[in-house]
Amino acid sequence: MKSTNVMAAGALAGALALLPVAGAQAQEREGWYFGVSGGASSIDVSRADFDAFADNALVLGSIDLMLEDPSILVDFQRTGESSLDDSGTGWSAYAGYRWRYVAAEVGYLNLGRASYRTPIIVNPIDPAGPAFEASATGKAASQGAFAALLGVLPLGSQFDLYVRGGVYNSRTTVSLEGFASAKATSNDLFAGIGADWSFSEGFAARVEYTRYLDVGDEDRTGEFDIDLVSVSVLFR
């Protein structure tokens, strides 16, 4: 037998020998648990898309003002370069149940917001008056309930690695403050990887990276991916 085959057979035998130990360790951590998390999110909405939304919102703002008071005609226009900060702060609270190598979770999640700002010019048309510059701010934000399944691999008596996926029932808002707002509810998929550390009896810490796919509605808010890196505390 070649040496590589001997090494492969030895590795397989070692892995098989560890299965009962891993199973016992997983069994020790079976049952209900609860968690709270916080972390940094990145909302993949483009500045060009937000500029287009802002242009439409400013037109709607002019029309709404005219309908509210026909004696006032004002033209709002973007001028200069806009800015977009796509980083936010996310948090969640959830409950789960674990069966050895599988766990299920349900909870509520807030993925934070992207912040937008653009300079605008306000041009009074009737009555005539001097135009003046101002700024408008906007946001893209999402939150909602979720359900997830986890596949768990125990590593020693304190550590677990896992993969996680599920469905996120998102409520997404894209708005330009004072002008227009678009809202959508959708069911979006997500997937992630993470690790748990059971640092004491009844408590564990979790680090996770998750991507939420095509959040929002293409026709109303647009669709965008959201990345979340989070840290959780688990209570068993």
Q: What is the mean pLDDT of residues 133-140?
A: 90
Q: Assess whether pLDDT exceeds 50 at residue 22.
A: no
Q: Considering the domain boundaries, does residue 6 fall inside one?
A: no
Residue range(s) defining the domain that contains residue 76 = 22-235
Percent of the chain with pLDDT over 70: 82
> Tens digits of per-residue pLDDT, 30-73?
999 999 999 999 999 999 999 999 998 888 877 666 556 666 67
Burial class (CB in 10 A: 0-12, 13-18, 19+), 165: middle
Residue-level pLDDT at 5: 47
Q: Considering the domain boundaries, does residue 2 fall inside one?
A: no
Q: Considering the domain boundaries, does residue 3 fall inside one?
A: no
Is residue 40 within 8 Å of residue 87, measured between CB atoms?
A: yes
Under DSSP, is residue 226 helix (H, G, I), strand (E, B) or coil? strand
pTM summary value: 0.82
Q: Considering the domain boundaries, does residue 27 fall inside one?
A: yes
What is the distance in angstroms between the CA of the first residue and the CA of the last residue of the chain?
49
Q: Considering the domain boundaries, does residue 179 fall inside one?
A: yes
Two tokens at 235? 């209570």
Q: Considering the domain boundaries, does residue 190 fall inside one?
A: yes
Q: Considering the domain boundaries, does residue 1 fall inside one?
A: no
If you average pLDDT over every residue of the chain, what do you get?
86
Q: Considering the domain boundaries, does residue 15 fall inside one?
A: no
Residue-level pLDDT at 145: 98
Q: 28-65: b or e for each residue (b if 16 or more CB lie within 10 Å)? A: ebeeebebebebebbbebebeebeebbeebbeebbeee
Domain count, the chain: 1
Residue-level pLDDT at 6: 45
CATH code: domain of residue 166:
2.40.160.20
> Tens digits of per-residue pLDDT, 178-191?
888 999 999 999 99
Is residue 140 within 8 Å of residue 150, measured between CB atoms?
A: no
Residue-level pLDDT at 64: 66
> Tens digits of per-residue pLDDT, 100-124?
899 999 999 999 999 999 999 887 7
